[in-house]
Amino acid sequence: MNIEIIVSDITALDVDAIVNAANPTLLGGGGVDGAIHRAAGPRLLEACQALPELSPGVRCPTGEARITPGFELTARYIIHTVGPVWLGGGSGEPEQLARCYRNSLTLATEYDLASIAFPAISCGVYGYPPKRAARVALRSLLDAPEGGPSQVLVCCFGRDMADIWREALSDAS
């Protein structure tokens, strides 16, 4: 697996799947979630609404992942995952964040996808400290079983975030 850290708007990427940092409703929100819904068009909301609710308002529990088409995106698929809200680190946040990356990769593997781009899940509204998030995320990606996407991008929304992830990648590999 080749992991690369890039700076971009994730909605512009030409990859098999982009990952959305969603919330459990999967009905859209701010941040990267809002950008993806705007760029993919209204059929994305319809596709998300059609996914089964496991409990009222919950289509995707924290740490799990769901897949939809990419609709108007260049990416063929969107993998929606729900990161943990940062509560100080002692409430299972690292394990939940690791599961987001792992479960997204598992879905990509099931769909035989060669390339996938992740945003910095939980590093915005959900408040996860970026250095810690990068460490957990990269460990989860590097320890993933063989046979998944050969190209993994981490798409940062600014140079400062990318610098943090690049340093974490060089520490981890």
Residues assigned a catalytic role: 33
Distance, in Å, from the CA atom of 81 to the CA atom of 78, rounded to the nearest integer, reads 10
Q: Which is nearer to ligand AR6, 87 or 110 (CB)?
A: 87
Those residues with Cβ within 8 angstroms of residue 160's Cβ, 6 or more apart along the chain or in another chain: none
The answer to whether the beta carbons of residues 166 and 5 sit under 8 Å apart is yes
b/e map of 1-23 (b: 16 or more CB within 10 Å)? eebebeeeebbebebbbbbbbbb
Burial 55-71 (b: 16+ CB within 10 A, else e): eeebbbebbbbbbbebb
**What's the closest the beta carbon of residue 147 comes to ligand AR6, in angstroms?**
27
- Is 9 near ligand AR6 (CB under 6 A)? yes
What's the full length of the chain, in residues? 173
Q: How far apart are CB 117 and ligand AR6 at their closest, in Å?
A: 9
Asked if 119 is part of the footprint of ligand AR6 (rule: CB under 6 A), the reply reads yes
Instruction: Please identify, using beta-carbon distances, which residue of 113 and 162 lies nearer to ligand AR6.
Output: 162
User: Counting contacts by CB under 6 A, is residue 152 touching ligand AR6?
Assistant: no
Binding residue (CB under 6 A) for ligand AR6 from 63, 70, 83, 149:
83
Cα(170)–Cα(3) distance, integer angstroms: 11
Nearest in space to 20 (alpha carbons), one of 37, 41, 6, 3? 37
- Over the window 122 to 151, marking each residue x when it contacts ligand AR6 by CB under 6 A and - when it does not, the resulting string is xxxxx-------------------------
Among 5, 11, 47, 68, binds ligand AR6 (CB under 6 A): 11
- Contact window for ligand AR6 (CB under 6 A) among 29-37, 41-49, 52-60, 88-96: 29-37
Residue ranges that bind ligand AR6, judged by CB under 6 A: 9-11, 21-23, 29-33, 35, 83, 119-126, 155, 157, 161
